[in-house]
Amino acid sequence: MKRVHYLSISISVILLDAISKWLVSTRIDTHEAIQIIPDFFQLVHVRNTGAAFGIGANAESQLVPFLLNVGAIGVFCVVVVYALRSAVTDRLLQSGLHLILGGAIGNLLDRFRFKYVVDFLDVYVSWGGREHHWPAFNVADSAICIGIGLLFFDMRKKPAPEGISAVN
């Protein structure tokens, strides 16, 4: 029953991701930008056919989307198995895994439905008379990154298994 709490994290990420992508898709034209914080943050509407941060977006091969879907399904399976095999009392680990799970499902749903992922958060700096942008991302991507960060914190707080030296 305690796992329901963690499952609600994944469901929340999936819902927030879907709602935010729907709002962007229905209210912002593709490639349009709405400045929120000058010289730092704007909302955009980008359709990403590639992997994280647009890697592989310009690939001509049909193999790229297939491999992205297979990879996302693989991550989903690994995370589910690891979450079920890990102690429910390990809050940091479980929270991280369920953030990753929710983010992976959110982006996978887009890939299956539309063949692309809607990205809309654009962080950038103006420097030297030019704008330098981080690739656009979305709520699912954010959840995955935060989840990975929590997994790193979780690994740091646990002692290394016997016979393996910890690197400091």
Kindly provide the residue ranges of all beta strands, DSSP E only, lying in the chain, ordered along the sequence. 33-37, 41-48, 117-127, 130-133
Contacts with 7 (C-beta within 8 Å, 6 or more apart), sequence order: 98
**If residue 21 lies in a helix (H) or strand (E), which one and from where to where?**
helix 3-27
Nearest CA to 24 out of 8, 11, 38, 42 is that of: 42
In a 13 Å sphere around the CA of 52, the CA atoms on its Cβ side amount to: 11
Strand partners, 155: none
Active-site residues: which are they? 119, 141
